[in-house]
Chain A
Amino acid sequence: MNRLIADDVTLGYDQRVIAERLSVEIPDNSFTVIVGPNACGKSTLLRALSRMLKPSHGRVLLDGQTIHAMPAKKVARTLGLLPQSSIAPDGITVGDLVARGRYPHQGLLRQWSAQDERVVRESMASTGVGELADRYVDELSGGQRQRVWIAMALAQQTPLLLLDEPTTYLDIQHQIDVLDLCAELHEEQGRTLVAVLHDLNHAARYATHLIALRDGAVIAEGAPAEIVTAELVEAVFGLPCQVISDPETGTPLVVPAARRGRTAVLRK
């Protein structure tokens, strides 16, 4: 049995239902990417998996236990989350921010152990921000800042790490940079990663397991090479396209069909 499972969950905010009776399993040791059009419920699913949203029906299971009934800190030692919205407090340094990732391992009388210090150093080193430890977070570029937040999530030392659109607002080179970093964390440190991504080509290139959602339902899931086809993209996104082989990696590459009417007008 896999460690993280959404079992027959109905998700929504107030009266608005986003997903009904949805079941998803995150394969252990995978880099799972959830894709789908806007408002398909991918971020909502991630919020439910990270126990920030309580399902109105069904339950999310972590290691076989209902996640909402578990002590908050215990969950935080197993399951980390890098949310979309995070605020760097005024005047905080990189080292200080990354150190906050140790919170679930600390207590009133165990505030900053030698182990905390070591883990924070390692997390900064593996995300390439070790040099920045004494810099202020507000001085950094968007790409550096995202690395710092990832370092904080790593310092939490959770075997499972969820990332909600970690590449949004970043330039293309920083997007690839962050995704390479994720792939590294997955391959070298053996963590299970779950990310929501907007870009289907990024998803197809980096994911080992892809979950395609539409209107709160799973349309397909599996290895990108097996499931990403022109029919699937059309079914999920309503986008006519060709799927070719990525010349760099051999993974599926989605090329949207040209809109002939419009290009004809532009050419005149």
Chain B
Amino acid sequence: MKSLKAVRTDSGLSIRVEPRALVVGVLLCVAALVVAVVLIGTGDFEIPATDVVSTLLGDGTTAHTFIVNDLRLPRVLVGLLVGAALGLAGAVFQSISRNPLGSPDIIGFGQGSTVGALTVIVLFQGSAATVAAGSLVGGLVTGVLIYLLAWKRGVHGYRLVLVGIGAAAVLTALNGYLLTKADLVDAARAYVWMAGSLDGRDWDQVWPLLGLCAVLVPLVLAYARPLRMLEMGDDVAYALGVRPERTRIVLMLSAVLLTASATAAAGPVSFVALTAPQLARRLTRSPGPNLVASLLMGAVLLIAADLAAQRAFGADVLPVGVLTGVLGGVYLLWLLVAERRAGRI
């Protein structure tokens, strides 16, 4: 048994370590830091990386301190948190549905959040904060509805994916209808929101998101072991002393909250939840939900996409959601082809 290693103490504690997953985790953390520093330095006013670091350590000029701490750091932090939340939520949903397509952006949560946000924008011309609240409510209601629709002595597998895809179609139609009702100004605002962007995000978005993640991430990670057992089917998990439905409800609710709050903060940034867990899994080569690696991968993916969106297209600075959409779309096609070859669809 090469794959199982643990750190043990004389007092009877033993913690499992997967060396490869550990290395991948450290590398992803380093990647996140590097991209974050470069991203903070990027913009109309370029700042060299060394100055960014010294400013972050409290040793910068007044101008740099203002640009870094007040303008760009919160944006990057929102990006990291949104990416991490989406990566983790994606890993949870893909594990529960035992299907790489079972991620929140495919099964209707993004669309549900959009319905909430568009309702506020189009029907009430609400403020940014109420748009975020609307999106949060939209995502949560969609999550509960999909759970109830997919429930038949427990929720799992294909039923969740199929019900979710159906819900996504209905919600997309609803969004189309809302847009036709909008006047020109509201419609423009709606489109910007729907693209998914980190533009103009400040500390007001950071704190609530950080607070939610501080509660939900440890909760989800504490359920990683029962989640791993659930991958062998409800009956096996039950026999091992896991309560399948309770585990699933706690995890799905947390994942829906994570997705909804990420979407409330940055709009529906597509495909991060879909791709991060799969990429993480290929790097760690470890069976099981790979929660920590997926979380880190999501964070790196999102800010790397934001960096590319600002740098790669010359003067045209794109919203990050457009870039993740393009990259994720290509990935989704590849995934469908690969799944087809493997005979799973």
A residues at B contact (CB < 8 Å): 50-52, 72-77, 80-93, 95-97, 99-101, 103-104, 106, 108-114, 116-117, 120-121, 133-134, 153, 156
Contact = CB atoms under 8 A, between A and B. Distances in A.
A195 to B, nearest CB: 14
Contacts of A84: 235
Contacts of A82: 239
Contacts of B241: 72-77, 103-104
Interface of B: 1-6, 8, 12-16, 98, 222, 225, 228-229, 231-233, 235-236, 238-243, 285, 287-288
Contact of B14 (A96, A110, A133): A110
Contacts of A110: 12-14
B235 A113 contact: no
20 contacts: A52-B239, A73-B241, A76-B240, A76-B241, A83-B235, A88-B232, A89-B288, A92-B287, A95-B2, A95-B3, A95-B4, A108-B225, A109-B14, A109-B15, A111-B15, A111-B16, A113-B8, A113-B14, A134-B2, A156-B240
Given A76-B240, A86-B233, A93-B1, 20 more contacts: A81-B238, A83-B233, A83-B239, A85-B235, A86-B232, A87-B233, A90-B287, A100-B229, A103-B229, A103-B242, A104-B241, A110-B14, A111-B16, A112-B6, A112-B8, A114-B8, A117-B4, A153-B239, A156-B239, A156-B240
Contacts of A87: 98, 231-233, 236
Contacts of B229: 100, 103
A111 B12 CA distance: 10
B146 to A, nearest CB: 22
Nearest to B1: A95
Contacts of A74: 241
A136 to B, nearest CB: 9
Nearest to B9: A109
A72 B242 contact: yes
B231 A50 contact: no
Nearest to B222: A108
A90 B344 CA distance: 12
A73 B238 CA distance: 9
Contacts of A83: 233, 235-236, 239
A52 B235 CA distance: 8
A187 to B, nearest CB: 23
Nearest to B98: A87
A226 B111 CA distance: 66
Contacts of A95: 1-4
Q: Mostly helix, strand, loop or mixed at chain B's interface?
A: loop
Nearest to A130: B1
Given A75-B241, A111-B15, A113-B12, A100 B232 contact: yes
Contact of B243 (A72, A112, A120): A72
A85 B156 CA distance: 14
B243 A103 contact: no
Contacts of B222: 108
A112 B231 CA distance: 19
A112 B287 contact: no
A264 to B, nearest CB: 46
A50 B239 contact: yes
Contacts of B232: 86-89, 97, 100
Contacts of A116: 14
Given A86-B235, A100-B229, A112 B240 contact: no
Given A83-B239, A87-B98, A92-B287, A112 B225 contact: no
A242 B12 CA distance: 60
Given A120-B1, A134-B1, A100 B228 contact: yes
Contact of B287 (A50, A76, A89, A111): A89
Contact of A109 (B1, B13, B98): B13
Contacts of A99: 1, 4
Nearest to A134: B2
Q: Which 9 pairs of residues, A with B, have the shortest CB-CB distance? A: A76-B241, A83-B235, A95-B1, A73-B241, A112-B6, A81-B239, A92-B287, A104-B241, A111-B16
B14 A103 contact: no
Nearest to B288: A89
B285 A91 contact: yes
Contact of A93 (B3, B6, B235): B3
A254 to B, nearest CB: 30
Nearest to A75: B241
A106 B224 CA distance: 13
A12 to B, nearest CB: 13
A80 B238 CA distance: 10
A112 B3 contact: no
A43 to B, nearest CB: 11
A103 B4 contact: no
Contacts of B236: 83, 86-87
B225 A106 contact: yes
Contacts of A50: 238-239
